Structure 1
Amino acid sequence: MRYTVPLFQRPYVWNRDENWTALWEDIRRVIERTERAGGSGDTVAPHFLGAVVFDKTPYLSSNLETRQVIDEQQRLTTLQLFLYAARLSAAGMDHERSVRLLSKFLENDEDLFDIGQHPDHRYKVWPTNAEYVLGVWPITMLGVRHSARTQAVSFGSSDALCSHRVSADRLGQGQRGRLRG
């Protein structure tokens, strides 16, 4: 599945003070509730992170199903960046299983498309406004500094994910049946 952000969407503008911290705290609380419940054997109720609106888009040159993100691209992009940061942290700690699990949420299976013809199909979420069509998204995902996206990855890597020691196993604990990569 591939999620594209259409040209009419505003650029990515979320930041630490107004958005990232609140979203991360929400995620952290769910992880903590899941951990507490895991020790007692209780189940944790599903958590609502917000609605995302998609429109099915035909895409004839690939086997990937495509959806356009109509509403909540800021939240969806931030969640992808946090997952990317978690994968970077897991890779830095040699947690190969966590890297594999997180990659399923970030990247499509290369058997579903021709990577030579469509290298951007690797990513599940793909911004389409002009800035990113020129290649900023994959460059940012590789660590170019000073863009809002790179700052979100940095926030996720240093502040949130490292200080709270969140791994893919903890992110998915108790939620495996509900999450789809």
Structure 2
Amino acid sequence: MSATGAVGAPGLWESVGTALRLLLGWSSVLIGVLDLVVELDRRQGTPDSAYLLFHGMLVVGGVLLISLASIAYRPSPAVSLVGGLVLGAGLLVSAVPADTATCCLDTFAQRHGYPFAIMARNPGGDWHVDGLHLAANVLFWGYAGLIALLLSCLARRLGRPHEGTGCSRP
């Protein structure tokens, strides 16, 4: 059944969106599991907590993307705003304080961003922005936003079981 309620094959753009969602989901799960296993199998030193958290989020977010068609509700604009706010606020708030993380851009004295440093500089020097780490942080905070969006839909649905919740089934 399509989003309009008519029975039929999905359109081209719906199929492309589904394929991209599944590709990103499976890639996230595979990369997350592989990197978690490699990091936990280290023989020396302790595993980096930010690295473990990032790859744990990849696994959880990937599983959610894979299963989204069976669990997701179509969120209202207000509920969608929750996911967007988590993404934006997570990037901004994590980039403000200086970070002493063991990972990334360690040749610079001041590093900013979580879970990976995305901006760095030496005192009195120019800023350096790392595009790959920025993309990884956007993915991390995007998955956090997806979790917040799904939890908001669930909370609204549980709070008003017989009324419109702002989250309807596709």
- TM normalised by structure 1 equals 0.24
Q: Which has the higher contact order (CA 8 A, sep 6+)?
A: 1
Q: Indicate the structure with greater helix content.
A: 2
- TM normalised by structure 2 equals 0.25
Higher Cα radius of gyration = 2
